[in-house]
């Protein structure tokens, strides 16, 4: 979603005449009726299968339910925050390696970045959960979920940082070198600080990916929001209502993070670089 | 276990799993593209309820975690008398997620064209249909090559959700967990094989997408 979504949408049409206005009105009414019928059918299906019964929803009036879900949410935040910090650090290191100018280091970093970008985070989680214990390395559940999520994010972040570095005008580097700064100093004192500012909106939007990846914490039995939801639904035997509520919580949290990153992007005028917009090679 | 033993014992499973992952990726991506076009048309139409439905669809499915959606479809929907086979649950999940991102890519492509071009098209007397088919859609498609390549790769990675339901035959991630829990001491090799299949495919897709993009991109 960019700043001019609405204007471009509206620019596609001329100012409507009386006939078009009528057609649009009819279309609006017909589609509104169809949407309402669709919603009614869904609610009807809930009703006839008994999912609207009070026993499936009554426990939400109990504060303990929400406290338990909130505990899980804190777990999600802990994992996401730690994974975000780790992946930021690793992402910067990988980006510096990839742009270092030292051939061997560049190739190694490139392979690492492509590996973590091209492998599903679930496979990495299974690696920490199933493969590492075979070599006698049994991490606590927190790290079994945090490390793979951080590694998966670091590959994408390295590319985001690289795009940020590329977005800093060439003249900055040239000026820094010509006043006698070493290439290293140029990077750390001139280019990197500006690049970091450019990618702030992109980093916030990457947080959504991290939060999504933490949802599989139940694989390693770490008590995050999803895992606590699974406990909750076995105690109340309410599969539909619990999963629906948890899904809505995740959607709202991620929506808020996305809106924040769009707001930051609009305010600073820097684009959001993500997995979808970056160059795949 | 070393590489040769794994291949001897599970080689056939791996061939099936690779086919499973790749075919699911292709089917889901194709379906997602069709739905994405449909949703995008709704989002640019002048009919407000359709715009709203399109926008809500995109916001819901780009923000929901894949696992959460899969669990809702696989374990909650049967309580509402909607029962799908395991594999279909995974495919529906992947298609819903990918189509939301696909529609976002199309919208970005449309937005990048700029209001001026539409105004120019209209002032030389092109109809709405002509403006769409000659000006908007060709440019939007060209600038969508790179994002859609990335989306194709992301779709492949999302099919790993298949490991969370008892699919048969399994895809590449599910197979790893199957092998590792069955043969003690399978070690790191099953992971490496699957990871190389994923990452190798991703790199190849990226190179091809980049090549196509270089040929068709509209330079602005």
ipTM: 0.90
Between the CA of residue B100 and those of A25, A227, B58, B107, what are the distances in Å? 27, 26, 5, 11
Which CATH number do you get for residue A168? 1.10.3720.10
What's the confidence (pLDDT) of residue A4? 45
Does residue B28 contact residue B95 with C-beta atoms inside 8 Å? yes
Domain hosting residue A107, numbered range: 72-268
What distance in Å separates residue A49's CA from the closest CA in chain B? Answer: 6
8 Å CB contact of A123 and B194: yes
What's the gap in Å between the CA of A52 and the closest CA on chain B? 11
Both tokens of A183, joined, read 């290439």
Q: What is the pLDDT of residue A235?
A: 85
Q: What is the 3-state secondary structure (H, E, C) of chain B?
A: CCHHHHHHHHHHHHHHHHHHHHHHHHHHHHHHHHHHHHHHHHHHCCCHHHHHHHHHHHHHHHHCCHHHHHHHHHHHHHHHCCCCCHHHHHHHHHHHHHHHHHHHHHHHHHHHHCHHHHHHHHHCCCCHHHHHHHHHHHHHHHHCHHHHHHHHHHHHHHHHHHHHCCCCCCCHHHHHHHHHHHCCCCCCHHHHHHHHHHHHHHHHHHHHHHHHHHHHCCCC
What's the mean pLDDT in B180-207? 89
In a domain, A278, yes or no: no
The angle that helices B48-63 and B86-113 make with each other, rounded to 10 degrees, is: 120
User: Domain locations in chain B?
Assistant: 3-216
Mean pLDDT to the nearest integer, B203-210: 92
Residue A74, class by beta-carbon neighbours within 10 Å (0-12 exposed, 13-18 middle, 19+ buried)? Answer: middle
Pairwise CB contact (< 8 Å): A216 & B164: yes
Average pLDDT, chain B: 90
Is A85 part of any domain? yes
Name every residue whose Cβ is closer than 8 Å to that of residue A40 and which is 6 or more positions away in sequence.
none
Residues A187, A257 contacting (CB under 8 angstroms): no
In this prediction, residue A6 carries a pLDDT of 52
Q: What is the largest CA-CA distance in chain A?
A: 77
Number of CB atoms found within 10 A of residue A165's CB: 21
User: Which structure tokens are listed for A219?
Assistant: 């694989």
Mutation test of the interface with chain B: which of A12, A121, A209, choosing the one with the most B Cβ atoms within 10 A? Answer: A12
Helices B145-158, B3-44: crossing angle, 10 deg rounding: 130
- Confirm if A208 and A222 have CB atoms less than 8 A apart: no
Helical (H) or strand (E) element with A88: helix A63-98
First to last CA, chain B: 55
A202-220 per-residue burial string, b: 16 or more CB within 10 A, e: under 16: bbbbbbbbbbbbbbbbbbb
Q: Is B176 on the interface with A (CB under 8 A)?
A: yes
CATH of B3-216, one of 1.10.443.10, 3.40.50.300, 1.10.3720.10, 3.50.30.60: 1.10.3720.10
From A69, A54, A91, select the one nearest A247 (Cα to Cα): A69
* Residue A255 placed within a domain: yes
Classify burial at B215, counting beta carbons within 10 Å of its beta carbon; exposed 0-12, middle 13-18, buried 19 or more: exposed
Residue among A114, A130, A258 whose CB faces B199 most closely: A114
Name A67's Cβ contacts closer than 8 Å, sequence gap at least 6: none
Q: Which distant-in-sequence residues (6+ apart) come within 8 Å of B189 by Cβ?
A: B1, B2, B3, B6
- Average pLDDT rounded to a whole number, residues B188-216: 92
Domains identified in chain A, total number: 1
Quick check: B108 and A46 CB within 8 A?
Answer: no
> B202, A226: Cβ pair inside 8 Å?
no
Domain presence at residue A62:
no
* pLDDT of amino acid B74: 94
Q: What residues in chain A have per-residue pLDDT under 50?
A: 1-5
- Over the stretch B73-126, which tens digit does the pLDDT of each residue have? 999 999 888 899 999 999 999 999 999 999 999 988 888 888 888 889 888 988
Chain B, window 68-127: residues with a beta carbon less than 8 angstroms from a chain A beta carbon: 68-69, 71-72, 75-76, 79-82, 101, 104-105, 107-108, 110-111, 113-115, 118-119, 122
Is residue A39 included in any domain, yes or no? no
Tens digits of per-residue pLDDT, B13-53? Answer: 999 999 999 999 999 999 999 999 999 989 988 888 999 99
| Cβ-Cβ contacts under 8 Å, B79 against chain A | 49, 51, 239-240
More reliable by pLDDT, A7 or B178: B178
**What's the rounded Cα separation, in Å, for the pair A195 and A199?**
6
**What whole-number distance in Å separates Cα of residue A205 and Cα of residue A258?**
6
């Amino acid at each position: 979603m960019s700043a001019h979504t609405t204007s471009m949408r509206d620019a596609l049409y001329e100012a409507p005449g009386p006939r078009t206005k009528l057609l649009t009105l009819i279309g609006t009414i017909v589609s509104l009726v169809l949407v309402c019928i669709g919603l009614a059918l869904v609610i009807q299906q809930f009703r006839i299968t008994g999912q609207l019964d009070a026993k499936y929803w009554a426990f939400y009036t109990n504060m303990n339910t929400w406290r338990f879900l909130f505990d899980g949410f804190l777990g999600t935040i802990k994992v996401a925050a730690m994974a975000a910090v780790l992946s930021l650090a690793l992402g910067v290191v990988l980006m510096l390696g990839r742009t270092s100018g030292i051939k061997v280091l560049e190739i190694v970093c490139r392979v690492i970045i492509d590996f973590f970008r091209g492998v599903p985070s679930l496979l990495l989680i299974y690696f920490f959960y199933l493969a590492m214990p075979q070599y006698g390395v049994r991490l606590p559940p927190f790290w079994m979920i945090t490390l793979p999520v951080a590694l998966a994010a670091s590959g994408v972040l390295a590319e985001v940082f690289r795009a940020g570095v590329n977005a800093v005008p060439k003249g900055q580097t040239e000026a820094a070198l010509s006043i006698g700064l070493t290439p290293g100093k140029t990077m750390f004192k001139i280019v990197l600080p500006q690049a970091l500012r450019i990618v702030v909106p992109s980093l916030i939007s990457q947080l959504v990916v991290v939060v999504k990846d933490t949802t599989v914490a139940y694989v390693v039995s770490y008590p995050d929001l999803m895992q606590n939801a699974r406990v909750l639904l076995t105690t109340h035997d309410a599969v539909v209502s619990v999963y629906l509520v948890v899904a809505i919580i995740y959607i709202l949290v991620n929506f808020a993070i996305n809106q924040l990153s769009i707001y930051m992007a609009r305010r600073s005028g820097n684009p959001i670089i993500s997995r979808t917009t970056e160059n795949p090679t | 276990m070393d590489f040769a033993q794994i291949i001897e014992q599970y080689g056939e499973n791996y061939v099936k799993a690779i086919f499973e992952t790749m075919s699911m990726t292709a089917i889901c991506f194709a379906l997602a593209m069709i739905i994405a076009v449909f949703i995008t048309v709704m989002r640019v139409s002048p009919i407000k309820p359709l715009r709203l439905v399109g926008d809500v669809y995109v916001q819901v499915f780009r923000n929901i975690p894949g696992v959460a959606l899969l669990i809702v479809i696989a374990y909650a929907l049967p309580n509402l008398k909607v029962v799908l086979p395991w594999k279909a649950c995974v495919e529906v999940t992947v298609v819903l997620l990918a189509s939301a991102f696909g529609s976002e890519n199309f919208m970005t492509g449309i937005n990048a064209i700029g209001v001026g071009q539409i105004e120019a098209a209209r002032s030389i007397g092109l109809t709405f249909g002509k403006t769409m088919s000659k000006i908007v859609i060709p440019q939007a498609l060209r600038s969508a090559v790179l994002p859609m390549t990335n989306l194709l790769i992301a779709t492949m990675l999302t099919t790993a959700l298949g490991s969370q339901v008892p699919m048969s035959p399994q895809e590449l991630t599910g197979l790893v967990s199957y092998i590792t829990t069955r043969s003690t001491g399978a070690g790191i090799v099953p992971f490496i094989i699957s990871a190389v299949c994923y990452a190798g495919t991703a790199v190849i897709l990226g190179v091809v997408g980049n090549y196509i993009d270089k040929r068709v991109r509209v330079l602005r």
